[in-house]
Structure 1
Amino acid sequence: MKKQLLAGLIATAIASPAFACTTILVGNQVSSDGSFLVARNEDYSATNAKHFLIHPRKENQRGEFHSNGNDFTYPLPEISLRYTSLSDYDTQDRSMGEAGFNELGVGMTATETIYNGQQVLKYDPYVLKTGINEDSIENVILPRIHSAKEGAELLGKIIETKGAAEGFGVAFVDKHDIWYLETGSGHQWMARRIPHDKYFVSANQGRLQKVDLKDSHNYLGSKDLISFAIKHGLYNPKTDGAFNFHTVYSQDLKNDVTYNYPRVWTLQHKFNPGLATKIGDGKSFPVFLKPAHKLSVQDLESALRNHYQGTPHDPYMNANPNEPYRPISVFRTQESHILQVRPDMPAEIGNVEYVAFGMTALGVYLPFYQGITQIPKGFDVGTNKASNDSVAWKFRKLQTLAMVNYKQYAPIVQKAYHQFEKQTFANQKKMEQRYLAIYKKDPKAARELIQNLENKTTEQALVLTDQLTNQLFTKLTHDTDMKYHFEGA
């Protein structure tokens, strides 16, 4: 994840990634309940409050979308579908949407920062001023698409015609498939349908390799994807073997060994403990894997909270802010989300967006069903300064406090949130059973079940967060008193 202030760094693609994310995609045949799962941590700034929003359906629209990040514009759709977003506070809630579902049950997450190769960018640089970037992608694409594949096709078309302002990966999901798109350069791109019996992990690198544009059921790409590479001497079919998108359009640099490889390696070994790959061999990591056991939402929550626990590379338990291995869970995470699509259930309850604000290792995931009518108060306010009315800041205050003494304070927060998530999951199952029993004959009452659960869950989460904040303040007050007691003999 990144903003336009990174344009210079991205254009040259030679600096260490300053802002970044981790993405996990899971096919429905290897999830525990037949779900498609799309997950990502959005990592940028700890002081940037996110606004969780529902954009209402709009008809007879005219005019253009204008990016807050650069001069990119795009015509508004005549009919804008209802959709959710997680926007930055300073976008007037109109851009930097990050993730959500639209009213047709199509979901997306944007973006995974990737860095295309320096050589290819010499011939086709990013279109920094007017190309599409993270600020625009969700808010332009999601309100107008009817399927995951259509989302990849539309974004690809925009990249080819208007250009990409930066390197990125974007995932789309519906009840049939997950599609993942990666940029290759300013105007080159490819997308892959994720195999239903595999999972995929990305950590700030182009990860896609094989491409067969004749197989449009599984692959999409720019029209001259391969001929462009041949023309500019980036690929020789006579000597280089089968075309490899990563080799031609992405890169492997020294900093990848500590910044990117450890995250992919850790999650692949978490889901496949018998894997024989070495942490420094990122070029040979499998692109897709079948997990040793089927993956659940809870497995992905655990994965997105990973910080190399139980190893010398855990920066938090070891109080080492200079740890070279970049953890998956970082303090500057703005929000984390998991999009769940259960194809065999009504979309109102089958599509769930799990959202955790702030640092995942100290955060709590809250479920938001597609069938909600409104997002509770406080989720759409907050700036870059702490305030009492912002839900995002309520969570961030507790996390900041816990980081003062992670070894002592973090377990308190984690234990309480774990129990809360466990109870919430049980409440979800009860609500879903009641919903299924009445939604056909009384859809209004069924939707009220969803909203009531939403209101109760978020309210309880905020009450618990206040309690934990006060508990840690009490402990910190006592610890400070003991440290500077100055009591007479």
Structure 2
Amino acid sequence: MACTTILVGKKATYNGSTMISRNDDNPTGSFAVKKFKVVEPNEQPREYHSVISHCTIALPDDPMRYTAVPNVNPEAKGIWAAAGINSANVAMTATETLTTNQRVLAADPLVVYQEATDTTSEQIGGIGEEDIVVLVLPYIHSAREGVKRLGMLLEQYGTYENNGIAFADHDEVWYLETVGGHHWIARKLPDDCYTVIANQFSLDEFDLDDATGEQKEFMASADIVEFINQNHLNLSKGQFNARLAFGSHSDSDHIYNTPRVWYGQRYFNRQDPTWTNDGLLTGPESDVLPWCRQPDHLITVEDVKYVQSSTYQGTPYSVYSKSAQANIYRSIGVNRTSFLGVAELRNDVPREVSCIQWIAFASNVYNALVPIYTNCTKVPEYIGNTTLQVNTNNFYWANRLIGAIADPHHDTTIVSVERYQEALESACRQVINEGEKSFQSNCDAIEFCNAQNQKIVDLVQKYTDRLLNEVLFTSSCLMQNSYSRSDN
């Protein structure tokens, strides 16, 4: 999936939380219909069957409750749980589709499903984006544990695609990237840093000694050093650079991937005087942008949403500009986003109410980010009742319609959209602030979260219905077959 990931350490955020975020973008010409869901332990399978790869995996008998954003129609391509937070307050988002190179794929080929033929038997595939959240999130009690469990599954079953997966708990953020069919590496994000990742193998400087030793900040497949040496993958003259060894170096990266990283780093490090529009080191086609950086300012949820919605605004590459360079790069905020998820694990409130999964559906340019407490057992209808058919009584389709109606008249409708985003997100934060003032640790936390979520979603439906009315009226007035003369 063509996604963008943003991760933020606890010393780089405005409130000391850890944050992991991902745009779940669909391939061109495809729109996955999504909903928000709470998966109870009795709903979690004990034997998992993959739709795409046909693999079968036995699961532990002690799953935890967790949230997810699955496809509405799992029979088509599987569950695709995408992102969530479990009852141990561990968050996960999967996956960032990555690129790699021919040497890696030759040394450790992807495990791709093959149908049986007259002369060959069926070849079962490995695990992939369809499966990973369901296989990992219900069973882990820390971000580090998430890396280890996923690494074990990758080594045992392999994968049919190159992916990056993020994990967070209240203290740490970890990011894992697959290397070929069965290998992987992972790095802990420094607490005072952020990273922006865009469909490209991104980890750069990597401490192999730590990864194969104490594993304080790095982890990897047990045989990673042997794998690198046997296949001559190390291209570095000094410290090992994983991106050089495992990543791609194609011209298409400069159009599709690196510009998104450039724009995100340009936003979070605005005071950096070296940013240029065309420089080989700091421009949108740079091959050497660092994996992580310390931001100029503490990062908020709104900052993450802004970058995840960006269309290169403020640069000649903006898709809505009249510049000759408009739309030459793949933007972050595109039409085929199915949802945006931001997991915020807060450290300044009681643990029972500390985890919020912010969600938005459809194109981020025209939607708003909504906070949902994940220590809950009930899902408000408006975010959980998505149908396969278009229906304005759910948040997914309302947002999909708003984006499609507003985009042809962007300059006119964006005023209403921006007012909606500010008003709704402010109102939701007010519900959080006022509710948590009265929360006591001896209260029923789950009932509190259920009630808070319903209050928030009631506001979401009210404000979203109003915006849909506004953009529909405005765009109807601007139709090409309009005529100014009237009978009254």
Q: Aligned-residue CA RMSD in angstroms? A: 2.4
1:167 paired residue among 146, 153, 162: 162
Match of 2:217 in 1: 218
Q: How does the TM-score come out when normalised to structure 2?
A: 0.89
- Please report how far the alpha carbon of residue 247 of structure 1 lies from its aligned counterpart in structure 2 after TM superposition: 1.0
Give the Cα separation in 1 of the matches to 2:130 and 2:178: 16
In structure 1, the residue matched to 2:286 is 282
C-alpha separation between the residues in 2 aligned to 1:63 and 1:369?
A: 27
Query: Counterpart of 2:415?
Result: 411
Tell me the distance in 1 between the aligned counterparts of 2:25 and 2:224.
Answer: 30
Q: Closer, same or farther in 2 for the Cα pair 1:449/1:319, shift >3 Å?
A: farther
Aligned to 2:461: 462
Structure 2 equivalent of residue 110 of structure 1:
94
Give the structure 1 partner of residue 398 of structure 2: 394
Going from structure 1 to structure 2, the CA distance change for 1:308 and 1:281 (only over 3 Å counts) comes to closer
The structural deviation recorded for 1:58 is 2.9
Select between 304-313 and 189-198 the one with higher mean Cα deviation. Answer: 304-313
- Kindly indicate whether residue 145 of structure 2 is the aligned counterpart of residue 150 of structure 1: yes
Q: Aligned partner of 1:122: which letter? A: A
Contact 2:311 2:318 in 1 (8 A): yes
Which SS does the other structure have where 2:73 is aligned? helix
Q: Determine if the alignment matches structure 1 residue 122 to structure 2 residue 106.
A: yes
| Contact 2:406–2:475 under 8 Å retained in 1 | no
Q: 1:379 to 1:319 in 2, by over 3 A?
A: farther
Report matched runs for 1:247-258 at 5 Å: 247-258=244-255
**What corresponds to 1:315 in structure 2?**
319
* Contact 1:365/1:421, CA 8 A, preserved across alignment: yes
- Residue 78 in 1 paired to residue 61 in 2? yes
In structure 2, what is the equivalent of residue 439 of structure 1?
441
Choose the corresponding residue for 1:244, options 241, 244, 247: 241
Does the 8 Å contact 1:261/1:279 carry over to 2?
Answer: no
Q: Paired residue for 1:271?
A: 268
- CA deviations 1:81-118 (Å, max 9, x no partner) are 10010011221597210100111111100001101112
1:348 CA drift (Å) = 2.7
Give the residue type in structure 1 aligned to 2:219. L
Is the 8 Å Cα contact of residues 120 and 249 (structure 1) preserved in structure 2?
A: yes
Residues 73/346 of structure 1: CA separation in 2 closer, same or farther (3 Å cut)? farther
Secondary structure of 1:355's aligned partner: strand
Is the partner of 1:396 in helix, strand or coil?
Answer: helix
User: Paired residue for 1:357?
Assistant: 361
Deviation at 1:200, TM superposition (A): 1.2
Letter aligned with residue 25 of structure 1:
L
Quick check: 139-148 or 418-427, which moved more? 418-427
Bigger drift between 455-464 and 327-336 goes to 455-464
1:226 is displaced (CA, Å) by 2.1
Q: Report % sequence identity.
A: 31
Shift of residue 383 of structure 1? 4.8
Matched, 1:28 2:1: no
* Residue pair 1:348, 1:370 contacting (<8 A) in 2 also: no
User: Is 1:99 aligned to residue 98 of structure 2?
Assistant: no
State the distance in 2 between where 1:190 and 1:473 align.
48
Kept in 2, the 8 Å contact 1:25–1:39? The answer is: yes
1:42 Cα offset (Å): 0.6
Q: CA deviation at 1:322?
A: 7.6
Give me the whole-angstrom Cα distance separating, in 2, the residues matched to 1:483 and 1:456: 40
Q: 1:115 to 1:152 in 2, by over 3 A?
A: same
Amino acid at match of 2:375: G
Paired residue for 1:65?
48
Tell me if the contact between 1:24 and 1:38 (Cα under 8 Å) persists in the aligned partners.
Answer: yes
Match of 1:426 in 2: 430
The answer for the alignment partner of 1:17 in structure 2 is: none
Aligned with residue 343 of structure 1, among 325, 342, 347: 347
Contact 2:431 2:455 in 1 (8 A): no
Distance 1:377 1:305 in 2: 26
| Structure 2 partner of 1:13 | none
Q: Are 1:261 and 2:244 matched, yes or no?
A: no
Q: Give the conservation status (yes or no) of the 8 Å contact 1:116–1:183.
A: no
CA deviation vs aligned residue, 1:379-405 (integer Å, no higher than 9, x gap):
333355423443311221111111121
Q: Give the superposition deviation at 1:487.
A: 6.2
Deviation of 1:207 after TM superposition, in Å, equals: 1.0
State the shift of 1:449 in Å.
3.7
CA contact (8 A) 1:131 1:165 kept: yes
* In 1: Cα distance, 2:306 partner to 2:15 partner: 17
For 1:230 and 1:291, locate their aligned partners in 2 and report how far apart those are by CA, in whole Å: 35
Gaps of 5+ in 1: 2-19
Matched residue, 2:194: 199
1:449-480 deviations in Å (ceiling 9; x for gaps)? 43222112212211222222122222233333
Shift of 1:486: 6.9
Amino acid at match of 1:273: R
Q: Cα distance 1:117–1:472, how it changes in 2: closer, same or farther (>3 A)? A: same
Offset of 1:149 from its aligned partner?
0.7
3-state SS of paired residue (1:138): helix
- Measure how far apart 1:49 and its partner are: 1.4
Q: How many residues align?
A: 463
Deviation, 1:345, is 2.8
Q: Tell me, in whole angstroms, the C-alpha distance in 2 between the residues paired with 1:477 and 1:229.
A: 60
Q: Could you tell me how far 1:372 is from its partner in structure 2?
A: 2.5
Deviations 1:210-240 (A, max 9, x none): 133224111110122121121122237xx83
Aligned residue for 2:130, secondary structure, equals helix
Would the alpha carbon gap of residues 463 and 279 (structure 1) be closer, same or farther in structure 2, given more than 3 Å must change? same
C-alpha distance in 1 between matches for 2:19 and 2:358: 11
Q: Secondary structure at the match of 2:228?
A: helix
Distance 2:465 2:323 in 1: 26
Return 258-267 or 62-71, whichever deviates more: 62-71
User: How far does residue 159 in structure 1 lie from its aligned partner after superposition?
Assistant: 1.2
Q: CA deviation at 1:319?
A: 10
Tell me the SS of whatever aligns to 1:293.
coil
